[in-house]
Amino acid sequence: MFSKVLVTTDLSEASSHVVGCLVGLQVFGAREIILTHALGIRHLDYLKYEWIKAAQPVLSAQKNVLEKQGYKVRIEIGDSDPVWEINKIADKEKVSLVVIGTHGKSMLSHVFLGGVATGIMQTARKPLLIIRLQMTEGKNVTKCKVVCHDFEKELLYATDFSDTAQEAFTYVEKIVESGCKKVTLIHVQDKTRIEPHLKSRLKEFNQIDQERLEMLKIGLIKKGAKRVEILLPYGLPINEILKASKKDDYSLIVMGSQGRGFVKELFLGSVSHNVVRHASLPVLLVPAIR
């Protein structure tokens, strides 16, 4: 499923933590990793070689960690804008997955999630695995840590039944085929769309969507899932998905992502963005087919 993976690094402690938690990807068929760092200094050639020289010790250490996990690893360094470089390398290398962390400061002291990760989420043409790092403020120091997850243990799949969500579901099927036995399917009846004019039709909507979810459940059981739960809450999609993610022992959230941007009216645009920002779990975002 994910035989070749691009792992982004900004050389921070945070990205080193992410690198240390990727052994679990092997259950998804990951064998080769392209460890990628973008300098972001395309028009400052006189700095390029100095920055590459400064980056090499950290890149080599991260490469060594990945090799000890059993991966074949190659380093790629780009000199342009990180978002552009990551997408370019992902296309050139024909990777099947891009891994990014949601926190960490680069050599330019930019917060990774605030710029690069958000840009990648908006423009991604490959599935993204976004790993959440916990940042804690101590006395005169900021520390980060990441909880390593068994990605196939139990997953939460959020859907709005769009084409993008259906594409994300194909990855849920593949994850189940790889060994995941427990899946929860969630569709949120969005109260901001239903109230006040469609509230009388909520029972009808629930019946239709329950049948849709039951069909997905049957498909997953045929693929090998042992337990498939269905959630059909009423409320705000972001709140309900985050609430559900905290109630069970999930290792991964899977959902679609609108690659054109976070348009308020598109469920899997603004919602996926906010789930990534606030969820404590890794999130697998699958872009729309283009």
Rounded to whole angstroms, how far apart are CA atoms 220 and 183? 8
Residue 174 shares a structural domain with residue 111: no
Residue 114 shares a structural domain with residue 211: no
Rounded to whole angstroms, how far apart are CA atoms 34 and 78? 12
Q: Among 20-34, 77-91, 190-204, which stretch is predicted with the lowest mean pLDDT?
A: 77-91
Residue 74 shares a structural domain with residue 111: yes
* Residues 6+ away with beta carbon under 8 Å from 199: none
Residue 103 shares a structural domain with residue 199: no
Q: What is the mean pLDDT of the chain?
A: 84
The identity of residue 225, as a single letter, is A
Bigger pLDDT: 175 vs 102: 175
Going by pLDDT thresholds of 50, 70 and 90, the confidence category of residue 260 is very low
pLDDT-above-90 percentage for the chain:
52
DSSP state of 111: B
Are 149 and 251 contacting, i.e. CB atoms less than 8 angstroms apart?
yes
Residue 229 shares a structural domain with residue 264: yes
pLDDT reported for residue 141: 53
Residue 224 shares a structural domain with residue 257: yes
Average pLDDT on 169-182 reads 94
Residue where a domain stops, chosen among 145, 176, 197: 145
**pLDDT exceeds 80 at position 234:** yes
The CATH number of whichever domain residue 31 belongs to comes to 3.40.50.620
Residue 128 shares a structural domain with residue 165: no
- How many Cβ atoms are within 10 Å of 122's Cβ, its own excluded? 17
Instruction: Give which of 69, 231, 250, 218 is closest to 147, Cα–Cα.
Output: 250
Residue where a domain stops, chosen among 145, 173, 201: 145
CA-only gyration radius of the chain, Å: 20
DSSP state of 169: H
pLDDT reported for residue 268: 44
**pLDDT exceeds 90 at position 128:** yes
Question: Crossing angle of helices 237-245/267-278, nearest 10°?
Answer: 40
Going by pLDDT thresholds of 50, 70 and 90, the confidence category of residue 270 is confident
> 81-110 pLDDT, tens per residue?
888 888 899 999 999 999 988 753 443 333
Residue 59 shares a structural domain with residue 119: yes
Average pLDDT on 20-33 reads 92
Average pLDDT on 240-252 reads 93
How far does Cα 28 stand from its chain's mean position? 14
Residue 137 shares a structural domain with residue 32: yes
Domain, as residue range, for 14: 4-145
pLDDT reported for residue 167: 93
Residue 1 token pair: 């499923």
Could you give phi then psi for residue 264, rounded to 5 degrees? -55, -40
> 139-159 pLDDT, tens per residue?
655 555 666 777 888 999 999
Average pLDDT on 161-174 reads 94
Q: Which residue carries 């990628």 as its tokens?
A: 36
Residue 36 shares a structural domain with residue 127: yes
Number of domains in the chain: 2
Rounded to whole angstroms, how far apart are CA atoms 189 and 236? 8
* Residues 6+ away with beta carbon under 8 Å from 116: 8, 10, 82, 83, 86, 100, 106, 110
Residue where a domain stops, chosen among 145, 167, 184: 145
* Residues 6+ away with beta carbon under 8 Å from 202: 189, 194, 234
Residue 102 shares a structural domain with residue 163: no
Residue 164 shares a structural domain with residue 141: no
Average pLDDT on 20-35 reads 92
